[in-house]
Structure 1
């Protein structure tokens, strides 16, 4: 497999994941939902590094600070994270995963990829769906989100 093939596979998998995610509930007249990518990357980093400031999350993830700030605001709105003042610098807020699982997080965790995967594969053949799902489980086991830290200096 070439780096280009791997990159395109990753993009395809990301799009299937985005399609499978339940749509966020927006209040009437509320802002358009931010893309799931920045929110998921930010939440993954906060889970791995609780008590981080937005700038630290930005540096680790490679996302612009403005995207991290927006993602943190969305995650706060859904009850997924909480913030607290940094005792060392009152201008900064530290981000932590909320102790209680929010309704949104529970809904996302309960959602399966079967329908989106079947659509992307163009088939509902149970044997093919099972084979691809098992292959994805192997990849997820060997390449968890934390493995990205091995690529960064």
Structure 2
């Protein structure tokens, strides 16, 4: 596998992950870029609690406006809370909510098998299980901290 193939595989996996996400009540969350932005911001906030929007934008490479929108969606879903920065009251600091909201619990409880089966062309269940297990191995070894190790 070369870098291009890996990139394309990663993109395919992101699309499958987006397809596995449950629709929120009221719909209107199926905007591919929005899903990715929200997940990228959620991951960053998890790793860096009490970060300002600008800091999240710098770390993720997302435009500040996208980060602000993602934070608003995460706040609406009950996944994060914001508070004024004691050192600079104009800035808001973002951190994960202490309690899981119903929406966050729903998203975390959703499995990938149906989306994976659809992406694989509805193969026999043992093939879906095999691919799912391979993805679990990759997830154990390639954590969200992997890109930072590459830069460091």
The bucket for the TM-score relative to the shorter chain is over 0.9
Report the Cα distance in structure 1 between the residues aligned to 2:151 and 2:40, rounded to whole angstroms.
15
Structure 2 portions without partners, runs of 5+: none
> Paired residue for 2:84?
85
Cα offset for 1:149? Answer: 1.0
Could you state the TM-score of these two structures normalised by the residue count of structure 1?
Answer: 0.93
> Paired residue for 1:19?
19
For residues 72-109 of structure 1, what are the alpha-carbon distances to aligned partners after superposition, in whole Å with 9 as ceiling and x for unaligned?
00011111100000011111000010001011110001
Report the Cα distance in structure 2 between the residues aligned to 1:130 and 1:123, rounded to whole angstroms.
12
Structure 1 consecutive aligned stretches of length 4 or more whose deviation exceeds 4 Å: none
Count of aligned residue pairs for this structure pair = 149
Cα offset for 1:6? Answer: 0.3
Cα offset for 1:25? Answer: 2.6
Question: Which segment drifts farther, 124-133 or 86-95?
Answer: 124-133
Report the Cα distance in structure 1 between the residues aligned to 2:25 and 2:55, rounded to whole angstroms.
29
> Paired residue for 2:145?
146
Q: How does 1:74-113 map to 2 (within 5 A)?
A: 74-113=73-112
> Paired residue for 1:58?
57
Structure 1 portions without partners, runs of 5+: none
Could you state the TM-score of these two structures normalised by the residue count of structure 2?
Answer: 0.93
* RMSD over equivalenced CA pairs, Å: 1.3
Cα offset for 1:128? Answer: 0.6
SS state at 1:8 partner: helix
> Paired residue for 2:5?
5
